[in-house]
Amino acid sequence: MESIIRITFPDGSVREYNKGITSYEVARSISPGLAADVFAATVNGELWDLARPVQGDATLRLHKWDDPEAKHAFWHSSAHLMAEALESLWPGTKFGIGPAVENGFYYDVDPGEGKVITDSDLPLIEDKMKELAARNSPIIRTEVSKKEAMELFTAKGDEYKTELISELEDGTITLYRQGNFTDLCRGPHLPNTSSIKAIKVLSLAGAYWRGDEKRKMMTRIYGITFPKQKLLDEYMVMIEEARKRDHRRIGKDLELFAFSPRVGMGLPLWLPKGADMKQRLIDFMTKVLKERGYTMVSTPHIGNVDLYKTSGHFEKYGADSFRPITTPQEGEVFMLKPMNCPHHCEIFNATPHSYRELPVRMAEFGTVYRYEQSGELHGLTRVRSFTQDDAHHFCRPDQLKEEFKSIIDLVQYIFKIAGFSEFTAQISLRDPNNHEKYIGSDENWEKAEQAIIEAAGEKNLATTIAIGEAAFYGPKLDFMVRDAIGRKWQLGTIQVDYNLPERFGLEYTGSDNQKHQPVMIHRAIFGSMERFVAVLIENTAGRFPVWLTPDQAVILPISEKFNEYAKTVLNILNNSDIRTLIDDRNEKIGKKIRDNELKRIPYLLVIGEKEVGAGTVSVRKQGEGDRGVMKPEEFITLVKGDINREIGN
C-alpha cells in the first residue's frame, strides 16, 4: 500500500506517517506542547494551513510564534475573526480585503449607507471577537470553482469580493469558513479560532478601495492579537514606550523646534537648541564633504518659472506647488524652489568644463519648498519647507559607477556615526507600464537602472527592489530608517539622471576635443536636516551623542555657597569648547539631578565643599550614574575622548 508517507524535517531527520496526516498531527506526534505552539507549516516550500492533509512525501517546517510565517497566519485568521464579529454586529457589512500586516492585521469594510463605525464601537468589536474566538470554531478550507465563488458572494451582496474574484483564475480559488462566516482567501490559516487568546482592536482609519483615491473610501479597522495575554500586555507597554520617543514630543520637551499656525502648517521653526544642533550637523557634513572633493555652492530660494519648465518639474508638479510668484513686471513669474537641481545645472553651465576636471561634485544645504498635501504633514518628517544636504555629481559616463559607489560609502559612514545600524536600502525603478509618469528615453533609463543595480551589487549592499518608485527623471537608491513606531522614512537617496543634462544642454570637452554630455547624480545623505533630526531623536530617545547634543554638561552646585566656584569651572569648560550650563536654582541636589537627567544632558557635574577644597568636580554620566571625582582638565579629556570615539579626530 502507498498509505505511508515520509516527512523530512529541517534537521534532515525523517519520520513516516499515514498519508493524509496534517501538519498539526505531525506536531502533536512530536509533543503536545509543540502542537500548542505552532500556527503554520511550510510543506515542500509552500506555506500551508496546519490542518491541511499532506498526501505524499514532503519536507516540513513547523512555524512557532517567533516565525513571521506563524504570526502571518495568526493575524490573518484574526482578521477573519474580526470580520465575523463585524458581520454579526452589523449584518450587511460589505468586506474588502483583510490582510495580516507587520504588527497585527486590518480589515477594510464598507458598513453600508448611513452607518458609520466610530471609536466607541471598537470595544464592542473586541468583545464580540473574544466571544467568537471562545467558541473554538474550526477554520475550514475549501476549494471552489470561480462560478461557485461568484454565486456565493453575489448572493451575499459583497460587491468588493466579486470584483476580486472576477480577476482570479479559475481553479485557484479557495474559501475559508469559521462559524457562520465565509471569506474568499488564499490562506493559510490557523486550524481553529481558539488559539486567539488576547485581542485588541486598535484604531480606525479611512482607506481607498484598492488604494485608488478615485474609488470609495472604506473603513479600515486595525487590530492585533496574541496567543497569550502576556504577549499583548508586553506589546501595549512597548507601544507606550515608543510614544515617549516620538520626536514631536521630545522636540517640544527639549525645546528643539516648534510649529506655529500663524507661520503656517508644515513650516518648522528651529528653536535655539535645535538650530544649534542642526548647524552642528551641517558643519560636520561640510567638513566631510570637503575631504571628499565636494565644492560648496549657494543658490537663491526662488527661480524663474522657465527654469522649471526647462527641467520638466513645472509640467509634472507645477499644479500642486506653492503658487507662482508674480512681480511688477508684466509676465514675469518666479517659483519658490522645490528642489536645487536646476539651479545646480545652471552653475555647471556657468563655466566651461574639461573632461580632466570631472567629476564635479557640487553641494549645497539648500532649503526647498514643497506644497505637501495637508494630511501628509507629520512633525519634522514631512514638512513644506526643509533643508536638503543636496549635492550633484557631474561625471563622465565611465566615472558613473565609481561615483555612485563612493556615495554609498558616504551614506554608510554617516549612518554609522548617527548610530543607524538597521537601515534598508531600496532600489527604486520605474514602472515600465506607466510611461506618462517619467521623462527621458528608454535607453537612458535602462543605462541608469543598470548602473544602480551594478553599483549596489559591487558594494554588497542588501537591497530590495521597488518597481514604480523611481523619481520622474531617473531611478534611485534610497536609504530608509525606522521611526519609534516602526514607520520607515527615506533619508539618504542617490539618483542617476541622464535627462536633466540633456534638458539643460550640459557639456564638457572630451580628450577628443569634442563636446560630450555629462551624467548627473543627485544625492542627499541626511535627506533633509528636518527629517534626519526627527529620526535621530526617535532612535536616540533624545540622548544625542556628546559631540552633537546642545548642552554637553551641567554644573550642579550643592548649595548657593558654591556658585562662585561653579562659575570658575564653567569658564574653564567653556574655554575648552565644552558646552556647559550651571543649574544654580535654589533646589536640593537630588532635584537638580532628576531635572537635568530628564533633559538628557550627558554629564552632570556635582560640586560642593569637597570639590571646592580639592579643585575638582564630581562627574555623573546621564543614565549611568556616578563616575567619580576628577579635575576639570581630566573631565575635558574625558569629553574630548567621547567626541573622538564618536566622530574621530
Partner RNA sequence: GCCGAUGUAGCUCAGGGGUAGAGCACUUCCUUGGUAAGGAAGGGGUCAUGAGUUCAACUCUCAUCAUCGGCUCCA
Catalytic residue set: 341, 370, 388, 390, 392, 476, 522
Q: Which three cell numbers stand for residue 451?
A: 548602473
Q: Where in 455-494 is the site for RNA (CB under 7 A)?
A: 471-472, 485, 487
Q: Which three cell numbers stand for residue 178?
A: 469559521
User: Could you say which of 64, 130, 146, 378 contacts RNA (CB under 7 A)?
Assistant: 378
* The residue type at 286: T
CB of 429 to RNA, least distance (A): 13
CB atoms near residue 345 (< 10 Å)? 24
Q: What CA–CA distance (Å, rounded) separates 434 from 432?
A: 6
User: Could you say which of 360, 606, 630, 636 contacts RNA (CB under 7 A)?
Assistant: 606
Strand, coil or helix: 43: strand
Stretch that binds RNA, among 67-75, 141-149, 164-172, 602-610 (CB under 7 A): 602-610
Q: Is residue 1 near RNA by the rule CB under 7 A?
A: no
CB atoms near residue 272 (< 10 Å)? 10
Stretch that binds RNA, among 66-74, 400-408, 417-425, 556-564 (CB under 7 A): 556-564
Question: Which residues are CB-neighbours of 19 under 8 A, at least 6 positions away?
Answer: 2, 3, 4, 5, 54, 55, 56
Give the residue ranges of DSSP H helices in 549-631. 563-575, 589-598, 609-614
Task: Give whole-number Cα distances, 571 to 580, 599, 625, in Å.
Answer: 9, 22, 24
User: Could you say which of 560, 564, 577, 633 contacts RNA (CB under 7 A)?
Assistant: 560
Q: Is residue 313 near RNA by the rule CB under 7 A?
A: yes
C-alpha 409: how far from chain center? 21
Q: Is residue 248 near RNA by the rule CB under 7 A?
A: yes
Q: Where in 576-595 is the site for RNA (CB under 7 A)?
A: 585-591, 593-594
CB of 57 closer than 8 Å to CB of 47:
no
Provide the Cα torsion 546, 551, 556, 561; round to 10°. Answer: 130
User: Could you say which of 611, 630, 632, 639 contacts RNA (CB under 7 A)?
Assistant: 611
- Among residues 335, 394, 404, the alpha carbon closest in space to that of 363 is found at 394
Q: Is residue 610 near RNA by the rule CB under 7 A?
A: yes
CB of 450 to RNA, least distance (A): 20
Q: Where in 336-365 is the site for RNA (CB under 7 A)?
A: 338-339, 341
Number of residues lying near RNA (CB under 7 A): 75
Stretch that binds RNA, among 116-124, 136-144, 323-331, 564-572 (CB under 7 A): 116-124
* The residue type at 473: Y
Q: What CA–CA distance (Å, rounded) separates 560 from 608?
A: 10
- Among residues 478, 486, 482, 561, the alpha carbon closest in space to that of 522 is found at 478
Q: Is residue 244 near RNA by the rule CB under 7 A?
A: no
Q: Is residue 43 near RNA by the rule CB under 7 A?
A: no
Strand-pairing partners, residue 107, are: 221
User: Closer to RNA at the Cβ: 284 or 472?
Assistant: 472
Q: Where in 618-647 is the site for RNA (CB under 7 A)?
A: 618, 620, 622-623, 625-626
Q: What CA–CA distance (Å, rounded) separates 642 from 638?
A: 6
User: Could you say which of 361, 370, 393, 459 contacts RNA (CB under 7 A)?
Assistant: 370
User: Closer to RNA at the Cβ: 372 or 454?
Assistant: 372
Write the interaction track for RNA spanning residues 156-195; mark x where CB under 7 A is met and - where it is not.
Answer: ----------------------------------------
Stretch that binds RNA, among 259-267, 288-296, 446-454, 502-510 (CB under 7 A): 259-267
User: Closer to RNA at the Cβ: 515 or 585?
Assistant: 585
- Among residues 184, 229, 221, the alpha carbon closest in space to that of 101 is found at 221
Q: Where in 430-449 is the site for RNA (CB under 7 A)?
A: none
User: Closer to RNA at the Cβ: 27 or 519?
Assistant: 519
- Among residues 72, 73, 101, 107, the alpha carbon closest in space to that of 89 is found at 107
* The residue type at 21: I
Q: Is residue 241 near RNA by the rule CB under 7 A?
A: no
Q: Is residue 284 near RNA by the rule CB under 7 A?
A: no
CB of 96 to RNA, least distance (A): 11
User: Could you say which of 180, 203, 229, 464 contacts RNA (CB under 7 A)?
Assistant: 203
Q: Which three cell numbers stand for residue 449?
A: 537602472
User: Closer to RNA at the Cβ: 282 or 368?
Assistant: 368
What DSSP character marks residue 375? G
What DSSP character marks residue 138? B
Stretch that binds RNA, among 30-38, 281-289, 395-403, 609-617 (CB under 7 A): 609-617
Q: Which three cell numbers stand for residue 545?
A: 551623542
Q: Where in 381-420 is the site for RNA (CB under 7 A)?
A: 382
User: Closer to RNA at the Cβ: 141 or 378?
Assistant: 378
User: Closer to RNA at the Cβ: 179 or 324?
Assistant: 324
Strand-pairing partners, residue 555, are: 582, 605
CB of 15 to RNA, least distance (A): 43
Q: Is residue 535 near RNA by the rule CB under 7 A?
A: no
User: Closer to RNA at the Cβ: 278 or 382?
Assistant: 382
Q: What CA–CA distance (Å, rounded) separates 400 from 418?
A: 27
